[in-house]
């Protein structure tokens, strides 16, 4: 890798997001006014905010956009303060609320002053569950300093249909690292991941095709030595890392079938 290409390679990890905000619904003063000083159990979410899984998530993150849990700054109050949190908590399913109390939910936002949803996409699920990938760009406070920093997170959200609409039944979140990716390992890059895991480890690749990329979705396909065709979907995070989302296999004239290959267990340990 020459100096020019090496510099370009590093830049994709160091640059911040240029993605547009997706969570630009509902969060106006008129919307929040009826909920001032209300406890979570006193709030009822309007049915139209949860008609579809997409509606639920876009409205949920729109309500949280200017929520803050960092305390008073020297410049005064921030955004919508803590008013959005009890409302957002009601987008969780009844079962999920039994696992996480409102106090725990509020604490999970400690230090955060602004949230921007920059990626949202439903992902295939072999068990036919309603599951989405998401990525956030946040502004967070630096403890004991009058300064903030941008943070990036990604995760998966599962939803369930209830009598009052779709609700979040599970959510996880992982912070993105911007230093390890450009300096260590091959497992940040989709092409390398496929070449190493399914080529070097599993000896399965007969011919790999050029990657197909559209926005943040990257598809890597290859023809296998077993005669089948394989296709892997990756999402590219803001830090440049490619995250594997789904695997598909097609044998002969059969339809594409989602699979769950585990090279670390099935090939590396042999």
| DSSP result, 69-88 | -S--BTTB--TTTTTHHHHH
pLDDT-derived band of residue 19, with 50, 70 and 90 as boundaries? confident
Q: What percent of the chain has pLDDT over 90?
A: 66
pTM assigned to the model: 0.90
Q: Which residue has the higher pLDDT, 82 or 144?
A: 82
Comparing CA positions, the residue from 139, 86, 89, 73 lying closest to residue 112 is: 139
pLDDT surpasses 60 at 127: yes
Average pLDDT over residues 216-221: 97
What span, in angstroms and rounded, lies between the C-alpha atoms of 248 and 256? 6
Out of 122, 152, 175, a domain closes at 175
Do 26 and 89 belong to one domain?
yes
Tell me, yes or no, whether 246 and 124 share the same domain: no
Per-residue pLDDT, averaged over 13-19, amounts to 70
Q: Of the candidates 85, 63, 73, which has an alpha carbon nearest to the alpha carbon of residue 148?
A: 73
pLDDT: is 153 or 81 the higher one? 153
Q: Based on the domain organization, do 162 and 201 belong to the same domain?
A: no
Residues 170, 186: one domain?
no
Domain boundary among 175, 209, 235: 175
Same domain, 154 and 94: yes
- In a shared domain, residues 117 and 186: no
Nearest-CA neighbor of 13 among 268, 185, 223, 229?
185
Domain final position from 126, 148, 175: 175
Mark whether 32 and 154 lie in a shared domain.
yes
- Domain extent for 148: 3-175
Q: 159 and 58: one domain?
A: yes
Given pLDDT bands bounded at 50, 70 and 90, which one contains residue 155? very high
Return d(Cα 105, Cα 89) in angstroms, integer. Answer: 7
Please tell me the total count of domains within the chain: 2
The pair of structure tokens assigned to 135 is 């990525």
pLDDT band of 261, cuts 50, 70, 90:
very high
């Amino acid at each position: 890798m020459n100096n020019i290409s090496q510099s370009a390679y590093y830049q994709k990890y160091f640059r911040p997001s240029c993605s547009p905000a997706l969570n630009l619904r509902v969060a106006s003063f008129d919307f929040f006014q009826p909920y001032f000083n209300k406890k979570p159990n006193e709030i009822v979410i309007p049915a139209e905010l949860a008609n579809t899984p997409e509606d639920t998530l876009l409205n949920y993150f729109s309500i949280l956009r200017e929520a803050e849990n960092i305390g008073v700054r020297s410049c005064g109050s921030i955004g919508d303060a803590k008013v959005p949190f009890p409302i957002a908590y009601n987008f969780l399913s009844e079962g999920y609320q039994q696992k996480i109390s409102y106090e725990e939910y509020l604490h999970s936002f400690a230090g955060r002053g602004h949230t921007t949803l920059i990626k949202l996409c439903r992902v295939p699920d072999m068990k036919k569950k309603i599951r989405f990938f998401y990525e956030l760009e946040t502004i967070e406070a630096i403890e004991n300093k009058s300064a903030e920093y941008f943070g990036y997170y990604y995760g998966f959200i599962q939803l369930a249909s209830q009598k009052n609409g779709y609700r979040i039944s599970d959510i996880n979140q992982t912070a993105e690292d911007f230093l390890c990716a450009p300096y260590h390992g091959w497992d940040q890059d989709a092409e390398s991941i496929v070449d190493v895991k399914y080529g070097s480890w599993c000896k399965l690749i007969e011919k790999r095709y050029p990657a197909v990329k559209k926005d943040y979705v990257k598809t890597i396909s290859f023809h296998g030595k077993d005669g089948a065709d394989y296709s892997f979907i990756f999402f590219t995070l803001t830090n440049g890392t490619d995250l594997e989302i789904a695997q598909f296999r097609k044998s002969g004239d059969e339809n594409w079938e989602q699979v769950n290959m585990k090279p670390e267990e099935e090939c590396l340990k042999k």
